[in-house]
Structures are given as C-alpha cells and as structure tokens.
Amino acid sequence: MSGLVAGKVALVTGAASGIGRASAMAFAREGAMVTVADVDADGGAETVRLVEAAGGEAIFVRCDIADEDDVRSAVAVTVERFGRLDCAHNNAGLGHGQAKLAEIDRNRWDRTVAVNLTGTWLCLKYEIQHMLERGEGGAIVVTSSATSLLAFPLTAGYAATKAGINQLVRSAAKEYGRDGIRVNAVLPGPISTEMVARSFVENPSLQKHLEEDVPLGRLGTPEEVADTVVFLCSGNAGFISGSMLTIDGGQTPW
C-alpha cells in the first residue's frame, strides 16, 4: 500500500460533511483506514460510501463529541475494528449563529462551548490515553479557526472556543511530545462548506465581505484543509508539533 499515511488508522470527527468528509476521503486516499464519527448518521454513511467507492476502507460511528461515553466508545470501536489508532482529526464543531456578543442566546452559547471546547478536549483525552497505552506515539490535528486569532464581528463565543482549542493543542504538544505524540491545529479561514452557507443565509453581505477580505480573493475548499491535515499526520511533518497553521488565503497577517 502506498500513500502519506499508508497502513495507519485515522479517526475523523464531524466527518459527515464539509471539511471532515474531505479529510476522511484524503486519509483513505493516502492509505489509512478511517473511522467516520459524527452525530449525522445519514451523512456519515454517505462519507463511508464515498470512501469505499474510491477504493478505501471506512466505518461509521455515531458520536456526539460533547458526550464522554460516545467519545470513549468511538475510540474503542476504532481500536476493536482496526487494531489501533495512529491519527486523529478532531474536526467536529458548530457556531452559535451570527450574533453580537451581548445578543448570543444562552443555550446556543452553552452548546457551542460543550461541543467545540469540551468535546475537543474529550477527543484528545481518549485518543491520547489509547496512544499512551499502545506506546507507539501518534499524530493529532484539531480544527480551530482563523477567528481564534482575529476578532471577526458576530462570532465572539465561537471564536473564544476556538482560542481555547489552540491552548489545548499547545498544552498537549508540550505534555506528550516525549511520548511521540504530535498535536497540531489547523486554522481555516472561510471555507466553502454547509457551515459557511448557513452564515451567508443569516448575513447575506458576508460572502462579498469575506471574498474582499481574503488576499487570494476566494473562499478555500474543504480539500485544501484536508490535504494539510493529512500532511500534518504524516511522517513528512515529523518535527511539527504545537503549531497553529492558518489555511486562510492570507487573511491572517502573521
């Protein structure tokens, strides 16, 4: 088998759609066996179908990353089915809807924190526990956002959870580097997925504004993020850990 992650086992959360689906497909194309984890069973089944149609191997696990039992079970099912876990893309996330800080709905705030921050921590926790038990290291990538570095209007709570994720990545990279576990974050700018399409419905002027704001003059594609994630999980990125890699067409000025 050939490919950047040939023979490895990867778990991708939020893989029923968008960036996560592209990531599952990129891992499989580069030789990995993939667990597709998501709350959306229909979308997850479709991702598995697409991976298999392209000649890859994948299973679907229903998993709400905010639920500790679900996350523990997603890692356990992956290990049971494929024998181990080498790579993870902790990608599932959601927004609280376009709203100024003082107008964010409390329930949506709580769910955003529960999924984006607590859920990502739970994924790191159980993935790292498995990698430590196995003793052969691993590579984990978390989907943060360029909004974790920049203050875009109407996304305050979402941006705060993504900034929190960045700090989890820095801490994990420091704490588990000696165990051979690399942990990195990708920070996408605007990527054309369902999530962004929903924002455009809520805020119709947003698309034009974003395209003007991105030096490359367009939205990114899920595949452009996915290819970077697989690179970060591959041996080609063997000395990269604790990094915050923007994939934003030049939007972040540093």
Q: Which residues bind ligand NAD (CB under 6 A)?
A: 13-14, 16-20, 38-40, 43, 63-66, 91-94, 115, 119, 143, 145, 188, 190-191, 193-196
Q: Which of 85, 87, 24, 81 is nearest to 52 (CA)?
A: 24
User: Distance between CA 179 and CA 168 in Å, rounded?
Assistant: 17
User: Distance between CA 93 and CA 115 in Å, rounded?
Assistant: 6
User: Can 158 be counted among the known catalytic residues?
Assistant: yes
Residue closer to ligand NAD, measured from CB, 119 or 138: 119
Residue closer to ligand NAD, measured from CB, 18 or 56: 18
- Annotated catalytic residue, options 158, 166, 225, 237: 158
User: CA separation (Å) from 100 to 2, 28, 94, 189, 248?
Assistant: 48, 40, 16, 20, 23
- The least distance separating ligand NAD from the CB of residue 158, rounded to whole angstroms, comes to 7
- The least distance separating ligand NAD from the CB of residue 204, rounded to whole angstroms, comes to 16
Residue 67, classified by CB atoms within 10 Å of its CB into exposed (0-12), middle (13-18) or buried (19+), is middle
User: CA separation (Å) from 179 to 61, 86, 173?
Assistant: 27, 13, 10
User: Distance between CA 90 and CA 175 in Å, rounded?
Assistant: 18
Residue closer to ligand NAD, measured from CB, 93 or 138: 93
Residue closer to ligand NAD, measured from CB, 137 or 192: 192
Q: Write out the catalytic residue numbers.
A: 158
